Amino acid sequence: QMVLSLLKYSARSAGSPEVREALDDLAGRVAVVLHNRIGLQTASGNDLEAALSAVVRTLASLAEPLGISISLEVEGKAELHGKKTLAIALCVNELVTNAIKHAFVKKPIPGGLVRVGVSLRPDEHLTVIVDDDGLPIQRSPAESDGGQHQGLDLVSRLVVAHDGLMIWPEGQSKKFEMRF
């Protein structure tokens, strides 16, 4: 909590808008880790739905003033190891934050929606999808130069580190899919 407070203080006092934005992004990531670590200490700490509900609630408070809604739909029950739950929560946080910041910026869409879907059926893999009805990303992470997609790189690394598969949007699609 102290690190989060220091990041927020530093962001407020930063002279450069770029530095302020970078510190705000980092503070958002630290906040997700903090909230989920606290949740992981409870009996339901491995409950993916509870972790993602907390992420969605936090991000909804940022998105609501912009006219953007965030929905979470969960099919099945996913009790995972705490580290995997935290990694998925961080990935969802990053993807939804990117949608809020970039998918609706140039073309504000009244009633914009970011959807988070989780599916876990018996004898199938866990699927997590983040999709929105805003603008598609401009360049794929593979085409990134100069660190433009640091957040998407983080998502990719977390998914792979937890034996998952990342399926990137193609064409005009905005659907990010993670399979574990």
Q: Which amino acid is at 161?
A: A
Residue 85: strand, helix, or coil: helix
Compute the average pLDDT of residues 3-26. Answer: 79
CA angle 132-27-7, nearest 5°?
155
Q: Which residues contact 53 (CB under 8 A, 6 or more apart)?
A: 72
Q: Write out pLDDT tens, residues 59-113.
A: 888 888 888 999 999 998 766 777 888 889 889 989 998 888 888 876 556 678 9
Return the pLDDT at 33: 66
As a whole number of Å, the end-to-end CA separation of the chain is 30
**How far is 146 from 153, CA to CA, in rounded Å?**
12
**How far is 140 from 155, CA to CA, in rounded Å?**
13
Q: Write out pLDDT tens, residues 126-168.
A: 999 999 988 877 655 555 554 556 778 889 999 999 999 999 9
DSSP 114: E
Instruction: Judge contact between 90 and 32, C-beta under 8 A.
Output: yes
Return the pLDDT at 143: 53
User: Which tokens belong to 165?
Assistant: 């598969």
Instruction: Judge contact between 69 and 114, C-beta under 8 A.
Output: yes
**Model's pTM, two decimal places?**
0.75
Structure-token match 């009996």, residue found: 43
Compute the average pLDDT of residues 118-122. Answer: 84
Instruction: Judge contact between 128 and 92, C-beta under 8 A.
Output: yes
Return the pLDDT at 88: 92
Using the predicted structure, report yes or no on whether residue 177 has a pLDDT greater than 60. Answer: yes
